Amino acid sequence: MKNFLLFIFISIFILSCSTNKVIKHHGVHFLDKKNDKLVINNTNKNDIIKLLGEPSTKSSFDNDVWIYIERKISTGSIFMLGKDKLIVNNVLVLEIDDLGMLAKKSFYDKETMQDIEFVDSSITSVYRKRSFVYDFLSSVRQKINNPARKKN
């Protein structure tokens, strides 16, 4: 009888597990297919908003720059110990001219992002590093000057 109950409990536990992977989606769905529908010097702001919705990020320099993002993450296999696996990572950058027409578009997917080169130069710090003694004495001074500790 104990073995039978144990068998039922284990089988219910195993059957309740799902084999479908959970996919977390962020951003605009099917960004790569919607990118093909955009035509330079023919598509305007209203068409873009109608097709893609409001952009994830907007900036305005000489031209307006709109950035759309699509990202899909799935849970990894049991061998990956639950780490997430990146399935899709797409970015669409649109430049819109002063007349409201699409002037330039750039599409980056997971593979082409690896080819982008970044500048290796760094900003040097202007301030000088303070010593441990200076930091310690500053914290002591701050505690002494604390208004809660001052007596009237």
Number of domains in the chain: 1
Domain that holds residue 60: 17-114
Residue bearing tokens 């068409």: 47
The reply to whether 3 falls in a domain is no
CA distance 81 to 73: 15
CA distance 75 to 51: 30
The reply to whether 5 falls in a domain is no
The reply to whether 130 falls in a domain is no
pTM equals 0.62
The reply to whether 132 falls in a domain is no
Per-residue tens of pLDDT for the chain, all 152 residues = 778 878 887 777 666 666 667 788 888 899 889 999 999 999 999 999 999 999 888 886 666 889 899 988 887 666 666 677 888 888 999 999 888 899 999 898 888 776 767 666 666 655 555 666 667 677 777 777 776 655 55
The reply to whether 146 falls in a domain is no
CA distance 152 to 109: 66
CA distance 123 to 109: 29
